[in-house]
Amino acid sequence: MIIRFIRNYPCVNIEMAHIHLGEGSFPLWALALWTTLGLGLIAIVTYRIRKNGVDPNRIALAGIAAAASFAIFQLNIPVWGGIHMNFTALVGILAGPLLGTIIALVVNVFSAALGHGAIGLLGANTLVNATEAVGAYYGFRWLRRADWDVFPASASAATIGLATGSVLMGAIIVVSGVNGSALPRSELTIAVGGMVGLNLGVAVIEGLLTGFIVRFLASIRPDLIGESTEAERSETAGVSA
């Protein structure tokens, strides 16, 4: 009876590049696939952290970033019909790609424990959110190396990182298929495309917000975003002169 209920009314609720379908909405092979890929990603990240280590200051920052991400994850704001943000791009820029991936896992585990997201989809959701963090981090570094200012670099990188996560989210749903949906794959793809499109609009809001936060942090503690302070810059210039 429960299965029939799920099949007739799939408890589908996906917000801001975070899949929280009800348990049983993905076929078993898809659950196994995304869980395996998610575990593989976490294994690689853990290995790299163990091998290369991380700056203790960054670990501390990751703790605070995880709290901020977990808080914003659960708040629904009245824009675009009602959405929540993730701050995964901000987490990626501040904590880096390795810790950003770990934070994505931690936030998803806690959220699923509260009923916000299925436990069976932890692998898929970690993949999606880690993509956002990693994309934003490398995008930000790349734009900064191209001599972009902090605000346009962080806002652009965050928006693109979040958009990449949204596209991955859509791809995961289309590849997996949804139990209970009578739509053929082509129509399902169009419907999911509409949701991905909406998520790009949400990425604009979160991207701008991330840009403002990173710009503010850069003005008071540039070391938090991996940049040198004014004093260090003058010191370096003095040495090299």
* Owner of token pair 């070391």: 223
Strands (DSSP E) found in 119-224 = none
In terms of CB distance, is 175 or 183 closer to another protein? 183
Does 33 sit near another protein (CB under 8 A)? no
Residue 85 or 134: the one with the smaller Cβ distance to another protein is 85
Cα-based distances in Å from 228 to 21, 194, 216, 219: 43, 42, 15, 11
Under 8 Å between Cβ of 221 and 61: no
Assess 156 for contact with another protein (CB under 8 A).
yes
For the bound state, the minimum distance from the C-beta of residue 175 to another protein, rounded and expressed in Å, comes to 14
**CA nearest neighbour of 211 among 150, 142, 160, 155:** 155
138 binds another protein (CB under 8 A): no
82 forms part of the interface with another protein (CB under 8 A):
yes
In the complex, least distance from residue 131 CB atom to another protein, rounded to whole angstroms? 17
Write b or e for each residue in 38-71: b if 16 or more Cβ atoms lie within 10 A of its Cβ, otherwise e.
beebbeebeeebeeeebeeebeebbeebbebbbe
User: Which residues ranging from 98 to 117 are in contact with another protein (CB under 8 A)?
Assistant: 110, 114-117
Whether residue 96 contacts residue 65, with contact meaning beta carbons closer than 8 Å, is answered with no
Smaller CB distance to another protein: residue 11 or 39? 11
163 is an interface residue for another protein by CB under 8 A:
yes
Annotate each residue in 205-224 with x if it binds another protein (CB under 8 A) or - if it does not, as one string. --xx--------------x-
Burial bucket for residue 80 (CB in 10 Å: 0-12, 13-18, 19+)? middle
Residue 79 contacts another protein per CB under 8 A: yes
Q: Side chain identity at 117, as an amino acid letter?
A: G
Choice between 32 and 71, CB closer to another protein: 71
Q: Does 60 bind another protein (CB under 8 A)?
A: yes
Instruction: In angstroms, give the least distance from the CB of 40 to another protein.
Output: 22
